[in-house]
A and B are shown apart, each in its own frame.
Chain A
Amino acid sequence: MKDLLTLFTVFFRISLFTFGGGYTMLPLLEKEICEDLNWADKSEIIDYFAVSQCVPGVIAINVASFIGYKRKGLAGAVAAAVGVASPAFIAIVLIAALFTNFSDNAVVRHAFSGIRVAVCALLAKAVADFYKAGVRDLFGLFLFLASLVLSVFFSVSPVIPVLAAGLAGVLYKTVRRANK
C-alpha cells in the first residue's frame, strides 16, 4: 500500500509541474524517476515514450502506467495513472468553477510566459541527455536525422517515423546478423 501511495504522489508531483503536452514532462521524469528514485534508466524511458507514441491514449498516462506496472503490476499502473490525471483534473475543475477568465488574467499570463522560457531550458537539457541515451551509433544518427526532417519539415504524424524506424531497426539488425 505504501508503494502505491509513493507511485501516486511521485506522479502527482510530476504532473503538477508539467505544462503542455506529454514531452514537457520529460525533465521531471528524468530528475524524479531516473536520478532520484532509480526506477528506470533513460533508455527505458525512451522505450516507454516509443510505445506510448504508437498506441492510443494520453501519452503521459501511458508512460506513467508503464512505470507503475513495472513497480507494482496492475495496481501500480492505476496508482501512477491516477497520480498523473489528478492535478490536471483539479486545476480544470477549479478554473471552470471559480476562475472562468483565468487565462485572461495579466499576472497569470506573465507568470506563464516566464514558465515557458524555463520549460525551453529544461527541455534543451533533457533533449541532450536523452539523445545520448537513445542515439548510440551511425545508423541511429541516420534514423534520428531522417525522423527529425520528416517531423519538422513535413509535419507528418509522429506515428509514421516512429513505426518506420522500428521496421528499419529490424531490417538493419537482421542484415547484420546474416552477415556475421
Chain B
Amino acid sequence: MNVYLLLFYEFFKTGLFAVGGGLATLPFLYEIAAKYAWFTASRIPDMLAISESTPGPLGINMATFAGYNAAGIPGSVVATVALSAPSVIIIVLIARFLNKYKDNFYVDSVFYGLRPAVCAMISSAALEIFRITLVHTDKFGNLAQFFDFRAILFFAAILILMYKFKLHPIFYLAGAAALGIIFRF
C-alpha cells in the first residue's frame, strides 16, 4: 500500500484509540515501530526527550517525527493531520451535544463530579514535573542532596514575581531560559 495511506491509517487509528493524551500514544508508537521501518523502537525514548524540549503537544511531536522519517515533509503532514482529525471530529460532536443538554440535571451533575477530579489530575501532573525538576529522587537518603536548592530558590523567586507582576507567562519562560544558559542549570 501507498506509504501516505499507511501513515494516515496508522496515525488516525492512534488518534482514535489513544485515550488520555500524549503518553497514551506510546503503546501505539511501539506497535508502529514493530510493524514498519519508519523508525525503530529504540528511537522512541529520544523522541520523547525531544518532545519535552520543543513547543507543542507531545502526540503531535511524535506523529510529525514518525511521518518525517517515513516520507519526508509530506509524510509528516499526513501523520499530523491523521492524528489530529479524530480529536476534532469527536470534540465537535460532543460540543454539539453539550450545547443542547448543558442545563440537563445529569450533565450538570457529571461535571460537578468531574471538576474536582480534573483538578486532582492537574495537581498530579504538576507534582510529577516538580519531582523531576526540584528534587533528586535518587538521593532520597540524604536530605542535603535530595533537594535541588538552586532550582527551588529559582522556583520561589519566579513564583513571587508572578504574583507581584502579572506578566504574560512567555516573559517568565524566556527569562528562565536565559538564566538557565547563564548559570548552567
Contact = CB atoms under 8 A, between A and B. Distances in A.
Given A92-B64, A165-B116, A114 B124 contact: no
Contact of A148 (B115, B120, B163): B120
Contacts of A127: 119, 122-123, 126
Interface in A12-30: 13, 15-28
Contacts of A118: 158, 172-173, 175-177
A62 B121 contact: no
A20 B127 CA distance: 14
Interface in A46-74: 46-47, 49-62, 65-66, 69-70, 74
A111 B175 CA distance: 10
Contacts of B120: 143-148, 151, 161
Nearest to A153: B124
A166 B114 contact: yes
Q: Which of A50, A108, A177 has the most CB of B within 10 A?
A: A50
Interface string B46-73: 1001111111111111001100110001
B84 A58 contact: yes
Interface string B15-48: 1111111110100000000000000000000100
A77 B22 contact: no
Q: Which of A21, A55, A127 has the most CB of B within 10 A?
A: A21
Label chain B's interface by main secondary structure: helix
A52 B114 CA distance: 12
A141 B167 CA distance: 30
Contacts of A27: 169
Contacts of A5: none
Contact of A123 (B22, B91, B118, B129): B129
A26 B122 contact: yes
B133 interface: yes
Contacts of A145: 120
A102 interface: yes
Given A24-B125, A110-B184, A172-B112, 7 more contacts: A46-B114, A46-B115, A59-B22, A85-B60, A134-B115, A140-B115, A147-B121
29 contacts: A17-B55, A18-B55, A19-B53, A26-B122, A53-B20, A55-B91, A56-B19, A56-B90, A58-B84, A59-B21, A61-B59, A62-B91, A88-B80, A91-B61, A103-B53, A110-B181, A112-B177, A115-B173, A116-B133, A121-B159, A121-B172, A122-B169, A123-B125, A125-B159, A127-B126, A144-B119, A158-B20, A158-B21, A169-B111
Q: Nearest 10 A-B pairs (CB), nearest first?
A: A169-B113, A114-B180, A88-B56, A57-B87, A118-B176, A165-B117, A147-B120, A113-B185, A60-B57, A173-B109
